[in-house]
Structure 1
Amino acid sequence: MNLKDLAQNLGMSQTTVSRALNGYPEVSAQTRERVIAAAAAAGYRPNPVARRLATGRADAIGIIYPLMAADLGDPYFLEVVGGMTEALGKADMDLMIASASQGDEVRTYERMIEGRRIDGMVVARTKLEDPRLQYLMKKRIPFVAYGRSNLPGPYAWFDLDTEAGVRIAVDRLVSLGHRRIALLSGPPELFFVQQGRKGYLGAMADAGLAADPQYRVDGELNSVGGHTRMMRLLACSPRPTAVVVDNQICGVGAIRALLDMGIAIGSEMSIIINDGRPPDPLMGYNVTATESAKPHAIGIKISELMLALLNGESLENLQVLWKPVLKVGNSDGPCIG
């Protein structure tokens, strides 16, 4: 069945039916519901090219990632993308992923937007001062930030409460008798890293413990960087008895370093990872971690926020912060040092 046949069956003009199917506000809710129900009963699906011409929309959402080689093998990233794709697919929209050099991301945004390839953008790994978000806000391009930033006005965002997650981890280690607790972080310009540091310093102060600067290490957001920084912590004198890692990617490298050095995890050294347990192949360790949600659910939620934004929902209603809970495993234990 084509649009002409559907319109004839309904006794309406093709223009009215097309506008109803494409969500034009001038079509009454009663008419829209009638058209949608008839289209579903007849198995009618709009021609995507005609729909795009009628609405001026690309029916696609973009995400530009400063992809590193490790990202393509990162199950966390792939699960988030899977959740986004699932939610957008139900709305007959596509997800377009583009890679960008870390030094010139904004230019990639310009190309994608100027080419009218997308209706909105998802921005990941947000920075305290983020030129990508500033550019999108200036151009009035709909976007959802996966993480927060310092912006002059309201914007749509989804975030995990890293401050609360790191605080929970430190509190747990303090309750186990640890006093020399380290924080292993990602790059300091990222918003979540600063939130994690805030949680760490706050929890240490509340416990009456000094936050020794040598126990705070930050750097690249990858497993190699996590490995390197854990080796630095192991070289400290005195060595910390416990480590909190503020992200899963670096956590994989940190655990690998402990295994490489023959450190007994959970007794000789305790480690807790924020933002979920790493993948399984970690020599049988059930890592203690804080977790807000599975990455697939995160991807679905981000897409739901984007769809609501495109449908005119106010920005103040599109700001979501998910709180973490502690998942106790066998990578932490009472302090013995």
Structure 2
Amino acid sequence: MDLKQLSARLGLSPTTVSRALNGYSDVSERTRQRVIEAAREAGYQPNLMARRLALGKTDAIGIVHPTGAGHLGDPRFLEVVDGLTERFAAEQIDLLIASARPADEIATYERLSRGRRVDGFIVPHTRCRDPRIDYLGQCGAPFVAYGRTADSSGYAWFDFDNEAGSRLAVERLHRLGHRRIGYVHAPLELNFAWQRHQGFVAGMEQAGLSIESRWVVPAGFGRRGGYEAMQTMMAGSDTPTAVIVDNNLSGVGVVRCVLDAGQVLGRDISVIVYDGTPADSTVLELEVTAIEQPTPHGAGVKLAELMLGVTQGQPLQELQVLWAPRIAPGNSDGPAPGTR
């Protein structure tokens, strides 16, 4: 049954039936319910292309992902994408991932936005100063940030309390007797990395522990970077007794380096990794102590719900959500050497 046939059955004009099905306010609630019930009984399916043209919508949300970044290789990020996809699918909305060279991200946002290819954006892995968010705010495109920026007051976002997670890790290691604690981190221009680093600094200060600059090592997003960072940290005669890693991909490299050096995790050196280690990693024999955040799938569902809230005009204060982390104990940390 098409729209004309449904309209004839109801004795209404096609325009009235179309506006009733699309929720326009100039159609009475009584008429709207009559049309919806008749459409359901007749098995009417609207022409989605015509609906999109009429409403000026694409029923698609975009993620612009820079090529060369490590996040698409991170199973946890892919679980976030799965949660987004599941929630949007319930609303008949597609999730589109567009690749862009790092220098061309803004141009890609501009093409997708001006070309009306998507109705809004999920902005992943925010930076402390983020030109993507500046651009989207200026052009008025709907978006939700996966993470915050230095000033996060004026837009919708979903994030974890990254500072709290690092503080929890320092507190745990301090209680275990560790005084020499190292830190391996992602690029600090990424806001989550900066926040986690600030949490590490605050936790060390609160514990009365000094930070050795040679034990704070950048590693990017990769197993090799984590491996090389740990090699650097273990090269000297004076080495840390515990290390915190701010992302799970580098965490795999750190753990592998310790094992390859013949060290016993949790006895010779302790390691705590943000998000633990991926399920497909090469260190399956270990249950790595983790700074654990709520499920990435659940985070994806929440991001999608926030995006729907943005498009529906919900108040901004309802569209800024912060979730808390916790420590998930494993067997990769233990009492500091000499304190047993």
Shorter-normalised TM-score: what interval? over 0.9
Residue matched to 2:309: 308
Residue matched to 1:49: 49
Offset, 1:39:
3.3
Structure 2 counterparts to residues 191-202 of structure 1, below 5 A: 191-202=191-202
Offset, 1:9:
4.2
Contact kept, 8 Å, 2:219 with 2:250, in 1: the verdict is no
Q: Indicate the larger mover: 205-214 or 32-41.
A: 32-41
SS in 2 for 1:62: strand
Residue matched to 1:100: 100
Q: Indicate the larger mover: 80-89 or 206-215.
A: 206-215
Contact kept, 8 Å, 1:181 with 1:215, in 2: the verdict is yes
SS in 1 for 2:145: strand
Tell me, in whole angstroms, the C-alpha distance in 2 between the residues paired with 1:309 and 1:157. 10
Quick one: which amino acid aligns to residue 250 of structure 1?
A: S
Contact kept, 8 Å, 1:162 with 1:275, in 2: the verdict is no
Distance 1:57 1:233, change over 3 A: same
Distance 1:139 1:233, change over 3 A: same
Structure 2 counterparts to residues 123-272 of structure 1, below 5 A: 123-151=123-151, 154-272=154-272
Report how many residues are paired: 337
Tell me, in whole angstroms, the C-alpha distance in 2 between the residues paired with 1:37 and 1:214. 69
Tell me, in whole angstroms, the C-alpha distance in 1 between the residues paired with 2:177 and 2:31. 66
Offset, 1:164:
0.9
Mark the runs of 5 or more structure 1 residues left unpaired by the alignment: none
Q: Indicate the larger mover: 44-53 or 73-82.
A: 73-82
Distance 1:66 1:323, change over 3 A: same
Q: TM-score, normalised by structure 2?
A: 0.92
Tell me, in whole angstroms, the C-alpha distance in 1 between the residues paired with 2:200 and 2:121. 32
Offset, 1:264:
1.1
Residue matched to 1:333: 334
Mark the runs of 5 or more structure 2 residues left unpaired by the alignment: none
Offset, 1:73:
3.9
SS in 1 for 2:103: coil
Q: Structure 1 residue 74 and structure 2 residue 45: aligned?
A: no
What is the Cα-based RMSD across aligned positions, in Å? 2.0
Residue matched to 1:89: 89
Quick one: which amino acid aligns to residue 318 of structure 1?
A: L
Q: Indicate the larger mover: 34-43 or 192-201.
A: 34-43
SS in 2 for 1:194: helix
Measured against aligned partners, the alpha-carbon deviations of 1:262-306 in whole angstroms (never above 9, x if no partner) come to 221111111111234422541411111122211111111111111
Tell me, in whole angstroms, the C-alpha distance in 1 between the residues paired with 2:293 and 2:32. 38
Residue matched to 2:2: 2
SS in 1 for 2:334: coil
SS in 1 for 2:290: strand
Distance 1:4 1:190, change over 3 A: same
Measured against aligned partners, the alpha-carbon deviations of 1:89-123 in whole angstroms (never above 9, x if no partner) come to 11011011011112221111112112210000111
Contact kept, 8 Å, 1:144 with 1:158, in 2: the verdict is yes
SS in 2 for 1:104: helix
Residue matched to 1:15: 15
Distance 1:262 1:20, change over 3 A: farther
Contact kept, 8 Å, 1:162 with 1:246, in 2: the verdict is no
Q: Indicate the larger mover: 322-331 or 210-219.
A: 210-219
Quick one: which amino acid aligns to residue 289 of structure 1?
A: A
Quick one: which amino acid aligns to residue 47 of structure 2?
A: N
Quick one: which amino acid aligns to residue 323 of structure 2?
A: W
Tell me, in whole angstroms, the C-alpha distance in 1 between the residues paired with 2:286 and 2:145. 33
Quick one: which amino acid aligns to residue 292 of structure 1?
A: Q
Tell me, in whole angstroms, the C-alpha distance in 1 between the residues paired with 2:126 and 2:136. 13
Contact kept, 8 Å, 2:225 with 2:250, in 1: the verdict is yes
Offset, 1:193:
1.1
Distance 1:300 1:110, change over 3 A: same
Contact kept, 8 Å, 1:278 with 1:287, in 2: the verdict is no
Between the aligned residues of both structures, percent identity stands at 51
Q: Indicate the larger mover: 25-34 or 304-313.
A: 25-34
Tell me, in whole angstroms, the C-alpha distance in 2 between the residues paired with 1:6 and 1:101. 48
Tell me, in whole angstroms, the C-alpha distance in 2 between the residues paired with 1:67 and 1:202. 34
